[in-house]
Each structure stands twice: as C-alpha cells, then as structure tokens.
Amino acid sequence: MKIYPIISYSADSNTYILEDEETKAVCIIDPGYTSEHLERIISVLNEIGKFQDFIINIHHH
C-alpha cells in the first residue's frame, strides 16, 4: 500500500491518499487524522485485503 500525504500548514488538516498497489483503488482520508489513526486504518485495510475506492471524511464545521 502506498501513502501519499497532502500536507497542509495546519496539523489538524492533513489529507492522506492510500493506494492499493495491486488494484490501484484509493482511499482518501480527509482531514484531521493523526499518524496513530492512520496506522490503525492501514492495519484494518491490510487485514481486509483489497478495497474499492472510498473516502473517509471527518471534517466538520
């Protein structure tokens, strides 16, 4: 799995794109996850195996 961070200048609003190298499906995680949350998400995705394109968005106003 490849991780592409889209870094912003606010620690609370980094966006990450995870790409399954085999299927090329992507998971966009936007924004507000810490590196600890990201590690947990990656762990779950690895357990599941292949995944389809989807977005995890916790941004709220």
Which pTM was predicted? 0.58
**Spatial CB neighbours of 58, under 8 Å, sequence gap ≥ 6:** 30, 31, 32, 33
Torsion of CA 20, 23, 25, 29, to 10 degrees: -10
Quick: pLDDT tens for 6-53: 766 665 567 778 888 888 888 887 766 677 777 887 787 778 776 677
